[in-house]
Amino acid sequence: EEHMLRSEKLRVVGELASGMAHEIRNPLTTVKGFLQISKANGYNIENWYAMIMDEIDRMSDLTAEFLQFSKPHRIDFQVDSLHECVLKVIALMESEATRFGHEIHYQEWMDPILVWMDQDKMIQLLLNIIKNACEAMVENGTIHMQLSRDPKNATLIIADNGPGIPSEQLEKIFHPFFTTKAAGTGLGLSICYKIVQDHNGTLEVESELGKGTRFIITFPLVEEHSQNEKTAFL
Ligand code: ADP
Ligand code: MG
């Protein structure tokens, strides 16, 4: 089983690496082409400066996000409050959301909701989803976050009232490099998917055109006894 897991991982990394090579080669070809044309014709490069910078930024974003996959991922699990995590993410995103004219609403759940998590990864997950919502909504959008629990699982819903996602794109949005944005990397949601998997959770999306999009994330709750064990151990 160990062996299969390893070869599955290698397959995924291989696919990502070849996707990455294509994604980097396209903007490189563009930049090189512009430079050659301007040299050959004695053009001033100024005309293409912005375009060249954009392409270079894109390559830089791609490589930075790609590292999230290829880093031998050390996950630092601790029992932590999901509620605290949501509050941190809202604090981090509030000014960005305001810049877009959006609002973030959070319906708080008062009981502590404890899950095993790597807090940095958890924050990265929520940031990616909220960032997408901010980018998708036209001005004055609203993001609703709602936390709840049942005996086994914690559920976090992140909903926006943006344009929604066409049904034929819904299954593709978690694929690496799928993007509908001019300057997108298409890596954000695939990273999210991996983070949720690493936490033994589930990540689902529901969307309706013209109405909005909801991401539904669940995590197994920390069981009472394992919490005590952890405390006893500490
Ligand atoms: P990127 O943000 O770089 O495009 P992501 O993996 O984060 O890559 O997202 C992939 C695609 O999923 C986006 O380009 C967009 O088309 C779609 N998407 C994600 N979140 C939303 C949302 N909240 N509303 C509408 N479309 C979304
Ligand atoms: Mg994104």
Closest CA to 223 of 154, 156, 152, 155: 152
pTM (predicted TM-score):
0.83
pLDDT tens across 91-105, in order?
Answer: 999 998 999 999 999
Ligand 1 atom, smallest distance to 184 CA = 3
pLDDT tens across 99-147, in order?
Answer: 999 999 998 777 789 999 999 899 999 999 999 999 999 989 999 999 9
CB contact set of 136 (below 8 Å; sequence gap of 6+): 160, 162, 163, 213
- For residue 146, the CA-to-ligand 1 centroid distance in Å is 20
Band the pLDDT of 70: cuts 50, 70, 90. low
| Pocket (CB within 6 angstroms of ligand 1) | 128, 132-133, 136, 160, 162, 165, 173, 178-181, 184-190, 213
Q: Provide ipTM, 2 decimals.
A: 0.99
Torsions phi, psi for 101 (to 5 deg): 80, 20
Residue 26 CA to residue 166 CA, distance in Å, equals: 26
Residue 173 CA to residue 168 CA, distance in Å, equals: 10
